[in-house]
Amino acid sequence: MKTTLKHVGLLLAASGLAGSALVSCGSDAPVAIAKRITARNELIGGPGALGEVGDFLLANDQIRVIVQGEGYSRGFGVYGGAIIDADLQRPSSGDATGGSGYDQFAEMFPAFFLKAMAPQEGGIRVETSTDGAASVVVSGRGGDFLFMLTRINDVVAGGDSIAFENEYKVRPGKRYVEITTSVINISDAAISLPGEGVRGLIGDDIDFALPAGDVLLFGARNKVFTPIAGFDLRFTLQDLYKEATGLPQLPGLVTPFIATRGEHVSYGFASGVTDPNISFVSRAGYEGARPDDLLVPFIFSAFTGSFYAAAPKSLASRERFSFKKYFIVGSGDVASIRDVVHDIRKTATGELGGRVRDEVGKTPLSDVSVVTFDSQGRPYNQHTPDSNGIFRGTYEPGKYSYRVVSEGRFTTAPVDFEITLGTKTGIDIELPLAGFVSARVLGPENRPMPAKCTLVGRYASGAAGFDPMRFLYDLKVGEHMLATDLIPDVAGDPSTLEYIEKVIYLGAGPKTEPVRPGKYRAVCSRGIEYELATREIEVQSGRTATIDVMLEHSTKTPGWASGDYHLHSTNSIDSSMELDDRVVSIAAEGVDIAMASDHNFITDYSPIIAREGLERYVQGMVGLELTTLEIGHFNGFPLKYDPGPITKGAFEWSGRPPTVLFSDLRKRGAHGEDATIVQVNHPRDSILGYFNAFNWNQDTAEPEDSPNLLLAPEGPEFGPQNFDYGFDAMEIYNGKHFELLRSYRVPAVLPEPPLPAMIPPAGTLLRDESGRIAFPGGMDDWFVLLDQGRRYTAMGNSDSHGGEDEAGYPRTYTPVSDDLPGEIDELDIVRSIKAQKAVATNGPLIEVTVDGKGMGELATVAGGTAKLVVITRAASWIDLSTINVIVNGETVETIRGDRTALARVERDLPISRDSWVIVEVAGDKSMWPVVTPLEIPSIQVSDAVGSIASSFGIDFNAFGNLRPEPRGIVRPYGFTNPVWIDADGDGQFQGPGASRRSLRAIDPSTPLLPVKKLPHSKIPTLVKLFSAFSGH
C-alpha cells in the first residue's frame, strides 16, 4: 500500500536530512524519505554535484540520491527525471550554499533500445509505502537522446507509441536504489517489438528480443570496472567487436555488474531481472550468462550503455512491461559495490580481509589499490584500504589471486589466496617503499617558476614493435596509460624505445612525487618560448632523486599574449583534472591566458590561480563550451560568472537552433554582447562538429540535408535552414588532431582492411557515392569561407581534458597592449580576435606582412606583385624546416631550410586579383617528449552506434579503415590568419566565392577504380606464389 509523503514528510523535513537523523519518530528503526528539495542545504554537494532546489531527494540512513526535476538535463544527457547526484550519508550536512558531500556521479537514464525517457510536465511525484520505503516516480514519453536515431527508433522501438515510468525506490538500511522501469504502449493499437519492418530485415527465423536497459554516465572522475574487463572496458569491448556476433545477440561485454572506483564514493549498477523470459542475455542466448547479467554494448565519451531486459514480442494497447535494476552507492572501491550485489542476489560467500603496509616501517598504506582475479586470471574485485591499511570484501568460494597497484612502485606479481564458504580469509601485504622525485625549476630571475619535468624511460629491446599496452602497462589492473614516442621501434636503437614514466607539473615552487624505481631522462620545459633542461636521474625505492634546473626564456614575444581558448577541468563530465592541477598545468606550459571552457558549466580559474600563487604567470578568463550532442560545440568568452546556479550560468541547449544559442552566449558576455567571442570548436570532429552536423558542403559552401536518410536528425534545431554564420572564430587547429585540418585524401599506403571495394588513386580527395567529400577538413572549410570574404578568425587551442593532452598545444597568440599575465586587457584580446590578428601554433612563432600590412589588414597592391615578409622563430628544441605560402587556398611556394634560412624570408608574390595570403610553418622532428603523440584516439559515437547497427546489417562505416588517422606524432606546426589584398584598387577584397573552388575541388580525372580481379589464365607469378603458400 502506498501513501503520499505529505504526512510523514513534514516531520522528516523538520528533523534535517543527515543520516543520523533519518529515523522515524519514537523509534530507532531507520526510514527512507522522498521529497522535493526546497532549500540548498538539502542538496548533496561534491565535485560532480548538479542538484538544484526543485529536484527530488531520496534518502535513507545509508545513502542520498537526487533525481532531477523536469526540463533539460543538467548532466550530459538531454532530459530531466534522471539520477544526477548520489553519495553515502555523511555526518556533516549542507548549508545555505549547498551540500558538503562527495557526489561524483553524472547521470543515468533508462533506455528502451536507443530511446530515452523525457519526463512530462508535472510527471514526477513522491510516494512512500508502509514497509518504510520511499519512492520518486517519473512519468514521461519516449524521447531520443540522439536525434540522429529518431528514425531508427521509430522503426525498431515503437516510435511515439512508447511511454516510460521510472520508479526510484529507497528502502531503509540499503545502499542501493531499486529502480523499476516500465515501458508502456500508449497507443490505441498493439505494437510489435521490434517493429514489423525490422522483422523483415532480420528474418522471421531469428528470435530477436528488443533490448532495454540504461545509459550510465559515470564521469571521468570515476574509473569504471567490470569483472572480466577490469578497468579496461574500452579495449575489452573493441576486442569483442572483432568477434563475429549475429542476431539475436548484439556485440558487447556480458558482465554481472558495473562498478566504479573513486575518491570517497563509488557507484555500481546491476540488473534485477531474474526471469529468463525478460532477460536479454538469456533470450539472446549468450553462453554461460545468468539472467541477471548485463550486456554492455558500447561506451563513448562519458556514456556507458547497458542492456539487460528483453521486451515481449508485442505490447497490446495500454499494456506495459517492467524490469528492475539497482543503482548502488559504495564507499570508494569496487568491493563495497560487490558486497551489495552479493547481498541483493543472496550469493553464498566467504570473506576476504587484508592489511597493506610498507615492508620497512610497517606503516599502513591507504593510497594503493588491491585488485583481485578469479582462478582464470580475470579481474574480479578491487579494494581501496582505509587509513589503517585495512580492507575487506565478500567473495564467492573459490581460488583467487591479488595484485597491488600504487604510485611509485611496480605493480606486484599475483599472489594466490582461497575463499571458503562462510569463513574469513586474511592476507597481510607488505610493499617496498615508493621511489620519489623532487623537482625544482628556476626561471631567469633565479626564482622557482611553473614548469613541467617529463621523466622519460626506455623499454627493453625485446618488446620492440609490440603494442605498449601488452608490456608497458596493464589497463585492466588499473594502471595508467604511458605515452610512447610512436616512432618505429628499432630493437638495437634505444632512442626509438622511449616512453614517459611520469610528468611532474610544478606550480610556484618545488614538488615531490612518487615515481617507480628506474633510470630516467628528466626533460624540464616551460612551453614553447623556453629552452629545455635535461638531467639523467636514477630513482630508487625509499629514496628521493632530485632535479634542479634553470630554464632560459629564449624566444620572447613582447606585445603578444598566448592564450588557450579551450580548456577543460573536473567541471566537465569527461575530465578528471582537478582545478588546482589544471591551472598549474597551464602555467607550467607558459600560457598567458587560460580560458575555462567546461562542458555546459561556467568556470572561473582566477581564485584557483590566486590560491596557487600563479598570478604572475597565468591569467584566467571565464568562458563556456556550449556542448550540444548533435549540432556542435561552441565556446563563448569572456563571459560573466554567476555564482548562484549550480552550473554558474550555463543554459539549456536542447531543441534550440544555433542562432538562439549564439545569441544566448553573447548575452552572457562579460563586456557586452559585441565584445563576446563565439568560437565554433573543431568544426569537423564527427557529430561534435558544427560543420559536420549541418553537412556543410565545401564544394557549394552551403549546409545541406543529411545525405543519410536513416540517420537524419529530426527537431527544430536541425536542417540546413538553421545553420547560422553569426560566429566570430573557428577552432581550425584542435589539439593534436592534425587529421581534422585538411580534407582527407587517399594515403600512399592503405590502412589494414576493412576497406571499401572502390578506392581512388593515392592523393585524391575521397568522396562518397554521391560525390561529396567524405571527410572534409576544417582548414579547407575556412579557405572556402575566406574566398567568400567571410572574415572568420582561425584559432588554435588544445581542448585539453587531462595530462595526456597538454595545455597550450596549440595556442593562439594575439597582440595586446600589456602582455603581463594579470594585466592583460580582455578587450584587447577580443579586438584582436575579431580583427583576425591571431597566430595559431604549437611551436613556431610567425610574423607575416604583405606590402607592410599585417594579419587582418588590407594591402593595396599595384603592379602585379606584393612583397611578402615572413619572420619565423622558435626555441631550439622546436624544429623548423618548412614555410608554405598559401594564396587563395593554393600553396604557391614551399620553402625548405633550416631555422637560419627560414628566420626571415622575403618574396615577391605575383598577384593578379584580389587575394588573401596565409603562411604555414612546420618542422619535421617530433616534439617528444614535451608533447606526446596522439596515441589512443577517443571513441566516436559512430563506433558506438555502429556496433549495434552492424548486427542488423546496417553499415554506418562505408569507408572502413580508409579514413583520417588520428594517431600520430606531434610535429611543430603553426599558421597565420590572412593578410587581405586588394588588387583592383577598389579599396576592398572581393573574393571569387565558392563556385570557383567548387569546380576545382572536383577532379574529374580521378574516377574510382575497381579492385580488379584477374582472369585465371593470366595469373602473375607473385599471385601464384601467394596462392601456393600455406599459412598452416
Partner 1 sequence: MRGLAALGALLALLVSFEAQAHRSQVQRTLSLEPSEGGLLQLLASVRVPGGMRRQVLIALVDRDHDGQLAEQERRELEQHLVARAFEGLQLFAGSSTAAVAVQGLAAKLRVPDDPKAPIELLAHGTVALPAQVRVLRLTTARGGDPLSLIVLPGTRAVAETSRGKIRIGGFSASLGPKDEVRWKISSAAE
Sites of contact with partner 1 (CB under 8 A): 239, 242-243, 377, 462-463, 465-466, 470-471, 487-490, 496, 746-750, 752-753, 755, 759, 761-763, 1009, 1011-1012, 1014-1015, 1018, 1020-1023, 1025-1026, 1029-1032
Q: Measured from the CB atom, is 119 or 468 closer to partner 1? A: 468
Q: How far is the CB of 888 from partner 1 (least distance, A)?
A: 21
Q: Measured from the CB atom, is 490 or 610 closer to partner 1? A: 490
Q: Cell 559504495 identifies what position? A: 330
Q: Measured from the CB atom, is 464 or 954 closer to partner 1? A: 464
The answer to whether 975 touches 920, Cβ cutoff 8 Å, is yes
Q: Measured from the CB atom, is 361 or 462 closer to partner 1? A: 462
Tell how far CA 225 is from the center of its chain.
Answer: 18
Secondary structure of 772-813 in HEC code, one letter for each residue: CECCCCHHHHHHHHHHCCCCCEEEEECCECCCCCCCCCCEEE
User: Residue 7 in 3-state DSSP?
Assistant: helix
Q: Measured from the CB atom, is 346 or 1032 closer to partner 1? A: 1032
Q: How far is the CB of 67 from partner 1 (least distance, A)?
A: 42
Q: How far is the CB of 759 from partner 1 (least distance, A)?
A: 6
Distances in Å between the Cα of 25 and the Cα atoms of 32, 117, 274, 736 are 13, 37, 36, 60
Residue type, 255: T
Q: How many contiguous H segments (helices) and E segments (strands) does the chain have?
A: 17, 56
**Burial readout 705-735 (b: 16 or more C-beta within 10 A, e: otherwise):** ebeeeebbbebebbbeebbbeebbbbbbbbb
Q: Measured from the CB atom, is 725 or 1026 closer to partner 1? A: 1026
Q: How far is the CB of 1003 from partner 1 (least distance, A)?
A: 12
| Burial group, residue 870, by CB count within 10 angstroms (0-12, 13-18, 19+) | buried
Q: How far is the CB of 248 from partner 1 (least distance, A)?
A: 23
Q: Measured from the CB atom, is 129 or 496 closer to partner 1? A: 496
In angstroms, rounded to a whole number, what is the distance separating the alpha carbons of residues 365 and 657?
Answer: 53
Q: How far is the CB of 306 from partner 1 (least distance, A)?
A: 25
Q: How far is the CB of 894 from partner 1 (least distance, A)?
A: 11
936 CB-near residues (< 8 Å, 6+ apart): 481, 967
Sign of the Cα pseudo-torsion (230, 960, 249, 187, in order): positive
Q: Measured from the CB atom, is 481 or 487 closer to partner 1? A: 487
Q: How far is the CB of 962 from partner 1 (least distance, A)?
A: 9
Q: Measured from the CB atom, is 481 or 746 closer to partner 1? A: 746
Q: End-to-end alpha-carbon separation of the chain, Å?
A: 69
Distances in Å between the Cα of 357 and the Cα atoms of 336, 362, 410 are 21, 5, 15
Closest CA to 980 of 870, 889, 792, 853: 853
Q: Measured from the CB atom, is 35 or 476 closer to partner 1? A: 476
Q: Measured from the CB atom, is 214 or 780 closer to partner 1? A: 780
Q: How far is the CB of 295 from partner 1 (least distance, A)?
A: 20
201 CB-near residues (< 8 Å, 6+ apart): 952, 953
Q: Measured from the CB atom, is 499 or 634 closer to partner 1? A: 499
Q: Measured from the CB atom, is 91 or 492 closer to partner 1? A: 492
The answer to whether 265 touches 88, Cβ cutoff 8 Å, is yes
Q: How far is the CB of 469 from partner 1 (least distance, A)?
A: 11
Tell how far CA 477 is from the center of its chain.
Answer: 21
Q: How far is the CB of 758 from partner 1 (least distance, A)?
A: 10
The 3-state DSSP composition of the chain as helix, strand, coil percent (nearest 5) reads 15, 35, 50
In angstroms, rounded to a whole number, what is the distance separating the alpha carbons of residues 356 and 338?
Answer: 20
User: In the structure grid, which three cell numbers stand for residue 447, read together?
Assistant: 626564482
Question: Cα-Cα-Cα-Cα dihedral of 190, 192, 193, 196, to 10°?
Answer: -160
Distances in Å between the Cα of 199 and the Cα atoms of 157, 319, 609 are 12, 21, 59
Q: How far is the CB of 890 from partner 1 (least distance, A)?
A: 16
In angstroms, rounded to a whole number, what is the distance separating the alpha carbons of residues 510 and 318?
Answer: 67
288 CB-near residues (< 8 Å, 6+ apart): none
Q: Could you give the maximum distance between any two Cα atoms of the chain, in Å?
A: 98
Distances in Å between the Cα of 472 and the Cα atoms of 415, 479, 499, 521, 924 are 21, 10, 9, 17, 27
Q: Measured from the CB atom, is 759 or 827 closer to partner 1? A: 759
Q: How far is the CB of 292 from partner 1 (least distance, A)?
A: 27
Q: Where are the beta strands (DSSP E) in 851-960?
A: 858-860, 865-873, 882-887, 890-896, 904-910, 915-922
Q: How far is the CB of 961 from partner 1 (least distance, A)?
A: 11
Q: How far is the CB of 399 from partner 1 (least distance, A)?
A: 17
Q: Measured from the CB atom, is 444 or 761 closer to partner 1? A: 761
The answer to whether 766 touches 744, Cβ cutoff 8 Å, is yes
Q: How far is the CB of 413 from partner 1 (least distance, A)?
A: 13
In angstroms, rounded to a whole number, what is the distance separating the alpha carbons of residues 742 and 776?
Answer: 7
Q: Measured from the CB atom, is 327 or 775 closer to partner 1? A: 775
The answer to whether 934 touches 971, Cβ cutoff 8 Å, is no
